[in-house]
Structure 1
């Protein structure tokens, strides 16, 4: 007898292949879907069309200056109901699971789901030209402006660093998620990973988002520290010292940052890693459905757009991400493109998604 579906190992991305077109609607999604030359040309044409008209510079500056307000407004409207839990998290990033001795690309782990999770697979879907936050920003929040109260906490934590006394200082395995949103990565990690040495930090640009995390019934200050942080402000301190983290998580976060600030952000985060520590990233790839659905007048710069709610998004290539991470002194462990075909079986619709997944490690020996 077949095991119950809840006990079956979840397939890793890249293992569910559509070899028979007649089976198209048998699953919610298919991996590594090959694009024809015509499909690639059509996508390129759509991007050229929707980027032919750029927003005026003064409008672009307005979106940058008011970025925090747009994200706060978003969370005030949607709170934590807009997210789905990331049931793919531990199959793709086993480094976050209880057994840290599995190989970097090891066997699939049991699937993690919660009762609130919907039946659709993958990080989310787009409707009416705008992607859901799980698909759009999935905890992505970047440019961050701390409130006075949180700034005080950050500065106090920075002072304690001199004596090795900071939140999580006694932990043996430290994880930071940047752009934690409502906690849809943080809480599954805390629930699933019972390692007594684990400590999870999480920060976000939105004060409202961090409030949602701190007010969650599962928030445990003995294992987690949530804080507002301005990732793009070099003068905004982290509560932990450099070379103290084993893992930094970036899930649909880097894409929301102004492109010219991305390198300094990645370099700054890389300094937080211990030798051998890794950055785990999943983000939007070039020609993703979300990019193709933008209309004229929403493009800020090449492959960088503003949504109707004022939030922004960039669409990467593998080479661009590799350049960002290697320039920061990190070594490639994984850099793959995930071309997925999502299927709405009820409406008999197909949606082509393009995501990029990366793992980059800080060298264990100093680079020449």
Structure 2
């Protein structure tokens, strides 16, 4: 059974039946195989085009992140005993005076740790599919932990360049890089078991469903024991899925938009299976249904999102740690 949030809009059986029928109708004429192959092979160029057109004007900064995902907020107390609240500028003065996150080898005890960006940080967050930084920069501006280091990667080199060109991009505190989540052979710049938190906001849905499990399993290896993946993504029968016309369906619940970017619509069970197969344990897996009313057009629209938190066990169970 679905776990619903208290402020959720409840769907009736009739509503769900209508939604299911719309999906059946818009799925009956799939995209031809040769076009599907083109969308897969040229996926990065479609996202480059998207960010070239929209730059940083399409998505708003996600300040709701700290309510939904307090793991992203400060892990330390400030001088007055209150968590968080320091201005980013004050924090930068402190960090620039002592560059704790430079890319140099650090001697830890009697062993020298191999250099990588953020090697000397004590709390590391990676956002996969960072876009133009609408999650990365709010974290940097609101989290006062002096040991914080934030990584951001994206499929689109155009998006990554926009992040690096942002006035809030501080190489002492963050590192942006191009990465293809769906390429199991592509390596990340940090070692295994080095990350405290991995953030995935509307990104897993953008890759081929057959490649999702390997992507999550690879990310799981990057987590420290006790570290977690935080995800928010499109749920089954979201308004966006119901609006697709015939001829846009790639495979079951997987579609291509007019600009060539792709999107999948999940169930809670599907996401739960991906994470548990990767060796992670459920902390949260909820469906969030919201009613949006456009009074001008007299339209009632239902948004459906799924929010998950899955944690890496603190110790291996029967040697099954991924």
TM range (shorter): 0.7 to 0.9
CA offsets 1:43-64 (integer angstroms, 9 cap, x no match): 0000000001111111100000
Question: Corresponding residue for 2:305?
Answer: 355
Question: Corresponding residue for 2:287?
Answer: 337
CA offsets 1:172-228 (integer angstroms, 9 cap, x no match): 000000000010000000000011010000000000000000000000000000000
Question: Corresponding residue for 1:207?
Answer: 157
Question: Corresponding residue for 2:198?
Answer: 248
Contact 1:254 1:283 (8 Å CA) reproduced: yes
**TM-score, length of structure 1 as denominator length:** 0.75
Helix, strand or coil for the counterpart of 1:189? helix
The answer on 1:225 being equivalent to 2:175 is yes
Contact 1:248 1:278 (8 Å CA) reproduced: yes
Question: Corresponding residue for 1:280?
Answer: 230
> Which one of 128, 141, 150 corresponds to residue 191 of structure 1?
141
In 1, distance between residues paired with 2:184 and 2:18?
A: 41
Question: Corresponding residue for 1:128?
Answer: none
> Which one of 40, 43, 47 corresponds to residue 16 of structure 2?
40
The answer on 1:93 being equivalent to 2:69 is yes
CA offsets 1:36-81 (integer angstroms, 9 cap, x no match): 1111110000000000111111110000000011000111111001
Contact 2:289 2:305 (8 Å CA) reproduced: yes
CA offsets 1:94-133 (integer angstroms, 9 cap, x no match): 00011479xxxxxxx99xxxxxxxxxxxxxxxxxxxxxxx
Gaps of 5+ in 1: 1-12, 16-30, 102-108, 111-155
Query: Per-residue deviation at 1:363?
Result: 0.2
Query: Per-residue deviation at 1:245?
Result: 0.1
Contact 1:94 1:100 (8 Å CA) reproduced: no
In 2, distance between residues paired with 1:100 and 1:247?
A: 16
Helix, strand or coil for the counterpart of 2:192? coil
Contact 1:55 1:300 (8 Å CA) reproduced: yes
In 1, distance between residues paired with 2:254 and 2:157?
A: 24
Question: Corresponding residue for 1:57?
Answer: 33
In 1, distance between residues paired with 2:140 and 2:235?
A: 29
Helix, strand or coil for the counterpart of 1:49? helix
Contact 1:276 1:361 (8 Å CA) reproduced: yes
> Which one of 287, 291, 307 corresponds to residue 257 of structure 2?
307
CA offsets 1:298-337 (integer angstroms, 9 cap, x no match): 0000000000000000000000000000000000000000
In 1, distance between residues paired with 2:151 and 2:46?
A: 24
Query: Per-residue deviation at 1:343?
Result: 2.8
**TM-score, length of structure 2 as denominator length:** 0.85
Question: Corresponding residue for 2:100?
Answer: none
Query: Per-residue deviation at 1:355?
Result: 0.2
Helix, strand or coil for the counterpart of 1:216? coil
Seen in structure 2, the aligned counterparts of structure 1 residues 97 and 346 have a Cα distance that, compared at 3 Å, is farther
Contact 1:199 1:223 (8 Å CA) reproduced: yes
In 1, distance between residues paired with 2:295 and 2:114?
A: 54
CA offsets 1:120-148 (integer angstroms, 9 cap, x no match): xxxxxxxxxxxxxxxxxxxxxxxxxxxxx
Contact 2:76 2:145 (8 Å CA) reproduced: no
The answer on 1:83 being equivalent to 2:33 is no
Helix, strand or coil for the counterpart of 1:342? strand
Q: After TM superposition, list the pairs within 5 Å mapping 1:161-172 onto structure 2.
A: 163-172=113-122
